[in-house]
Amino acid sequence: MSENAANENLNGKPNEVKTGVEKAADLAGKTWEETKDKVEDVVEKLGDNAEKVWDKVEDKAEALWEKAQSGELTEEAKAKLGDLAEGAKGLWNKLVDKIDGDEAPKATDQEKQA
* Structural domain count of the chain: 2
pLDDT digit string (tens) for 64-77? 899 888 888 888 89
| Residue 14 and residue 7 in contact, taking contact as beta carbons nearer than 8 Å | yes
Statement to judge: residues 57 and 81 lie in one domain: no
The DSSP output letter for 15 is T
Statement to judge: residues 4 and 57 lie in one domain: yes
pLDDT at 90: 93
Q: d(Cα 66, Cα 36) in Å, to the nearest integer?
A: 45
Domain that holds residue 57: 1-70
| Residue 97 and residue 103 in contact, taking contact as beta carbons nearer than 8 Å | yes
Residue count of the chain: 114
Statement to judge: residues 2 and 55 lie in one domain: yes
Mean pLDDT for 33-40 is: 83
| Residue 85 and residue 64 in contact, taking contact as beta carbons nearer than 8 Å | no
pLDDT at 62: 94
Mean pLDDT for 45-66 is: 93
pLDDT at 12: 52
pLDDT bracket for residue 79 (50, 70, 90): very high
Q: Which of 62, 91, 67, 87 is nearest to 77 (CA)?
A: 67
Statement to judge: residues 103 and 85 lie in one domain: yes
